[in-house]
Each structure stands twice: as C-alpha cells, then as structure tokens.
C-alpha cells in the first residue's frame, strides 16, 4: 500500500452504469456513510437510508435530479443507525434487510443521547422525534431482486462488520454495493461483528467478478482497496495476538501497537475497539460482548503510532 496515496473525496452522486448511482459522503467518518440508487426509469431501489434527516434528504434530492422515479424498495445493508435511521423518510418503499437486522433495529431504537455522547456535533440534526422504521421484508442468506431487466443479488456473507451484513451485487454491471463490509481509507469499526468472519467476507468479495465497489464508508474503489482493508486486519490481528499472549490487557495492547501506513486512514483511533473485539476472538467468543464503554473511551486517549 502506498502510504502517501490517501485520497480525499467529496459528497457526490456518481453514475456508475446506466441507471446505477453511488452517493458518497465526504470524510466517511463516524455516521457519515454512503448509499446507492438504482432505477429502471419508472421506479427505483435505494441502498441504505443514511443517518440524519439532513443527510437522507440530501441523498433524495440528488436522486430526484436523475428523474429516475420514486424509491419503491429500500435495502438496508445492516442494522446500524448510520445506514437505517433514514428509513422512515422513504414511506412508500418496502424496506428489505437480512433477518437479524429487523430485531436489532427494533431493539436499538433511536439511541439519541448515546449518539450525541459520541458525536455531539450532530445535535442540531438529531431531533427527538425521528421515527424508527424496521424492515418489512427479510431474508436469511440470499435474495434476488430486479429493477426492470437488471438483476440484483443480495447475499449475507456471514458475520463480519455485524451479524446481519448484506452485499448487493449487480452481476451484469460488475458493480458491488458492499455496505460496511468495506471501508476504504477509513478505519473499520469492529465493536460488533466478528473480525475473523470479516476477513472471510473480504476474501469472498475479492473472489467476485466485479470491477467497481461502493463501500459503506469512503470513496468508490475496487479490489485493491479490499486487499488493503484485509491487510489492515491481518496486521492488527497478528500484533494484538502477540500482546494477548504476553498478558497485556486491551488498552495496553492498543497503545503499544504500531499500525504503519494505516495510521493515515481516517479515525485510526478505532484500533482500540478493534483490539477489544480481537481479544474476544482470542478468548474463543468472537461475537461475544466487549466493554464498549471502555473501548470507546479509550479512543479519546489513543495516540496513533505508525
């Protein structure tokens, strides 16, 4: 990886193929995700609803300029609020997600105070009356949708970023909307999910016949960026394991690990919760509970080491 080639990107609505668009948001930081819009001219499918009402409406306004038709189906790539809190702003769309996502969305609700504790800069955007809308249709492993003649293959790659991740493949266009299975030039966040499973999901993505990949966070990329993300996980897994075996706790391990050029990715301090997740894996329970409060507090004290 070229440590000096970390790009910048703007909030932008980009046409990837006829009727296929990616909506990327600048920085790709905490709760600043991407979305997709696919239309046959009469109606459309959206991929993810984004976070704050302001973000969702900006995405909707950009989509309207294509004159591609109203959104009748909305795919959630996983349950996290930065991809689903805008669901209610698509009142005429059927919301589709992996089976486990529905339960998580209902159970988590709208944790406004917790979110503002982590990101107080969203206070003006997160009013108290944001409605939570769970999926209407769910599937376990695979679902095929059509937008006109265009085929969309939805698949659950197993537990990765979360237990309910969904990949959206457009096989004829060789395009993949990867949700948060892929973070490009933004440090992945693994306080939930399963890092070993995440690596397997990335290997699955690398084996797909695709040229263009839209990540959940970061700029549009391809398999080169997937390989870089997998390399990040390989590095932190190896380094965390050494410190786990030596008896270091999670905080000490995260403070001691140097992550090289990956330190230049956005929000490198996410190494702290990622190490907590790895320690759960090393203890034999990769999807088990971690001390989320301690892990997130540790990010504030983290000093990046290359």
Question: HSE of 93 in the Cβ direction (CA atoms, 13 Å)?
Answer: 28
97, two tokens = 């997600």
Domain boundaries, the chain: 12-222, 234-300
pLDDT in tens, 27-60: 999 999 999 999 999 999 999 999 999 999 999 9
In sequence order, what DSSP letters do the residues of 227-291 get, joined into one string? HHHHHHHHHHHHHHHHHHHHT--HHHHHHH---GGGGGSBTGGGHHHHHHHHHHHHTT-TTS---
Give this prediction's pTM: 0.96
Question: Of all residues in the chain, what percent are helix, strand and coil, respectively (each to 5)?
Answer: 35, 20, 40
Using one digit for the tens of pLDDT, what is the confidence trace for 105-161? Answer: 999 999 999 899 888 999 999 988 899 999 999 999 999 999 999 999 999 999 999
The Cα–Cα gap between 80 and 84 comes to 6
The CATH H-level (homologous superfamily) assignment of domain 12-222 is Ribonuclease Z/Hydroxyacylglutathione hydrolase-like (3.60.15.10)
Report the chain (306 residues): mean pLDDT per 10 consecutive residues.
Answer: 72 97 97 97 96 97 93 98 97 98 96 90 90 97 97 98 98 98 98 96 98 98 98 98 97 95 95 97 95 91 74
């Amino acid at each position: 990886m070229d440590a000096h080639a970390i790009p910048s990107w703007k909030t932008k609505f980009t046409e990837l193929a006829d009727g296929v668009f990616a909506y990327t948001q600048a920085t790709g930081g905490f709760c600043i995700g991407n979305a997709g819009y696919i239309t046959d001219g009469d109606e459309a499918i959206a991929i993810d609803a984004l976070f704050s009402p302001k973000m969702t409406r900006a995405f909707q306004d950009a989509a309207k300029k294509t004159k591609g038709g109203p959104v009748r189906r909305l795919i959630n790539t996983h349950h996290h609020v930065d991809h689903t809190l805008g669901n209610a702003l698509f009142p005429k769309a059927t919301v589709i997600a992996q089976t486990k996502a529905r339960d998580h969305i209902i159970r988590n609700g709208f944790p406004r105070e917790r979110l503002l504790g982590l990101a107080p800069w969203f206070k003006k955007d997160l009013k108290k009356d944001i409605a939570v809308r769970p999926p209407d249709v769910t599937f376990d492993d695979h679902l095929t949708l059509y937008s006109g003649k265009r085929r969309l293959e939805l698949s659950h790659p197993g537990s990765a970023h979360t237990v309910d991740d969904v990949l959206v493949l457009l096989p004829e266009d060789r395009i993949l909307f990867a949700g948060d299975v892929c973070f490009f030039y933004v440090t992945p966040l693994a306080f939930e999910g399963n890092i070993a499973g995440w690596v397997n999901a990335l290997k699955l993505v690398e084996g797909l016949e695709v040229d263009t990949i839209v990540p959940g966070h970061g700029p549009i990329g391809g398999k080169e960026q997937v390989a870089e993300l997998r390399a990040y996980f390989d590095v932190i897994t190896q380094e965390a394991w050494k410190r786990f075996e030596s008896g270091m706790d999670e905080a000490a391990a995260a403070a001691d690990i140097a992550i090289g050029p990956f330190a230049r990715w956005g929000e490198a301090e996410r190494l702290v919760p990622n190490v907590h997740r790895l320690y759960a894996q090393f203890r034999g329970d990769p999807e088990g509970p971690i001390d989320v409060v301690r892990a997130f507090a540790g990010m504030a004290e983290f000093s990046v080491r290359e």
